[in-house]
C-alpha cells in the first residue's frame, strides 16, 4: 500500500533515491560458505538488515544476485535511467571482469565496491580489483557491516550532489 509520505513526496516531485545492491557469484552461499571468512549470516539476513537501514535513510533499495557474469551485466544495463546508485559485491568477478567494469562505466551510475572480507589481507590474486579505481568508494573487511557502511556512504554522497 502506498503511504501518505510517498504521496506527499510524489506530489512535491521530490523523487525517492533508488539504489540497487548487486551480489555476484557464490554470495548466495554466504552463511554456509567458509563461515570463518564470510560469517554465519545468510544473504537474506544481510539484505533484511539493509532494508531496515534503507527505510531509516528514506531511500528505496532493490536486490539482485546472480552467479552469471552476463546476468549481472544485463542487470547493470537495465538500471540505466532508473537507478541512482549501485552497491556491488562482484565476488570473484571483481578480480577478473573487465566486462563488469565496462558495464558500470557504460551506464555511468555511481557505485560503491563492497566486500565482506578484507581482500587485501587475503591471497594475492584478490588484491587486484577491476572496479576499485572507478568506484566512488570501497568498503572491504567489515563482514555484513561492509554493506551498511556502503549504503550510508552512497546515500550521503548522493544527497550532496
Count the residues in the chain: 161
Q: Does 126 bind ligand DQA (CB under 6 A)?
A: yes
Residue 75 near residue 64 (C-beta atoms within 8 A): yes
| Alpha carbon separation from 65 to 10, 76, 152, 154, 161 (Å, rounded) | 29, 12, 21, 19, 28
Grid cell locating 161: 550532489
From the centroid of its chain, how far is CA 43?
12
Question: C-beta of 155: minimal distance to ligand DQA in Å?
Answer: 21
Stretch that binds ligand DQA, among 2-10, 66-74, 112-120, 149-157 (CB under 6 A): 112-120
Q: For ligand DQA, which residue of 18, 28, 117, 132 counts as binding (CB under 6 A)? A: 117
Total site size for ligand DQA, rule CB under 6 A: 10
Q: For ligand DQA, which residue of 92, 99, 107, 145 counts as binding (CB under 6 A)? A: 92
Q: Which of 104, 154, 108, 109 is CA-nearest to residue 131? A: 104
Instruction: Between 18 and 117, name the residue whose CB sits nearer to ligand DQA.
Output: 117
Q: Which residues bind ligand DQA (CB under 6 A)?
A: 26, 89, 91-92, 94, 115-117, 119, 126
Amino acid at each position: 500500500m502506498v503511504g501518505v509520505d510517498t504521496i506527499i513526496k510524489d506530489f512535491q516531485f521530490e523523487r525517492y533515491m533508488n539504489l540497487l545492491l548487486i551480489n555476484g557469484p557464490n554470495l548466495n552461499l554466504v552463511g554456509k560458505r567458509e563461515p570463518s571468512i564470510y560469517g554465519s549470516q545468510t544473504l537474506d539476513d544481510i539484505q533484511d538488515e539493509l532494508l531496515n537501514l534503507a527505510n531509516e535513510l528514506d531511500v528505496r533499495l532493490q536486490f539482485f544476485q546472480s552467479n552469471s557474469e552476463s546476468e549481472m551485466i544485463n542487470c547493470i544495463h537495465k538500471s540505466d535511467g532508473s537507478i541512482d546508485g549501485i552497491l556491488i559485491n562482484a565476488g570473484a568477478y571483481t578480480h577478473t571482469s573487465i566486462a563488469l567494469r565496462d558495464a558500470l562505466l557504460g551506464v555511468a551510475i555511481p557505485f560503491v565496491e563492497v566486500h565482506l572480507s578484507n581482500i587485501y589481507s587475503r591471497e594475492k590474486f584478490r588484491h587486484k580489483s577491476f572496479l576499485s579505481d572507478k568506484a566512488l568508494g570501497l568498503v572491504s573487511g567489515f563482514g555484513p557491516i561492509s554493506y551498511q557502511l556502503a549504503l550510508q556512504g552512497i546515500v550521503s554522497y548522493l544527497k550532496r550532489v
